[in-house]
Homo-oligomer: A and B are copies of this chain.
Amino acid sequence: MFIKIDFESDMPIYEQLRRQIIKGIAKGDLEKGEQLPSVRQLAEDIGINLHTVNKTYNILKEEGYLAIDRRKGAMVKDIMPMVDEEYINNLYSELEYIIANSYCRGISKEEFLKLCEDIYDRLENKQGGEKYD
C-alpha cells in the first residue's frame, strides 16, 4: 500500500489518510471501480486503529469518492463527486490564504503558477499509468 502516516503531525490521522486516498485516486493509483482494502486490513497495514480507517472511509463516502457495499467493502466510485458552490467557496478561501501567505513571503505569481502547473501536469501524465513509473 502507498499510504504513509506521520504520527507526529498536527493533522489527524484520518485526515492524512483521506488526503492520500484522494491523491491516489487523482494519480490513478486507485482506479475507478477499484476495491479498497478492508478497514481491518488497511488499519493493520498502516498500524492505526480500525475506527480511524472507518472514519476516513465514511467521510470519503459522504464526499462522493467511495461507495461502501456491505459485501464487497469500499470501492472507488465510477463517477467522481461534482463541484458545488460550497466546494468552490472553500477552494477559493483556502487558495486565498495560501496565496496571501506565499505572496507575503515573496513568491511571485509566476513561480506559484508554475508550481501548480507542474503538479497538474504530473497528475495528467500519471493518470492510469503508475505501472510505468
- Cβ–Cβ contact B105 & A82, under 8 A: yes
Partner of A116 from the list B19, B95, B124 (CB cut-off 8 Å) is B95
Alpha-carbon distance between A22 and B98 when the two chains are bound, in angstroms? 9
Interface size class of A (residues with CB under 8 A): 35 or more
Known: A62-B62, A109-B120. 15 other contacts (CB 8 A): A7-B69, A8-B70, A19-B97, A22-B100, A22-B104, A26-B100, A26-B104, A48-B71, A81-B104, A82-B105, A83-B107, A95-B116, A99-B123, A109-B117, A112-B116
**Subset of 9 A-B contacts with CB under 8 Å:** A7-B71, A19-B97, A22-B104, A65-B104, A91-B102, A95-B115, A103-B124, A109-B124, A116-B116
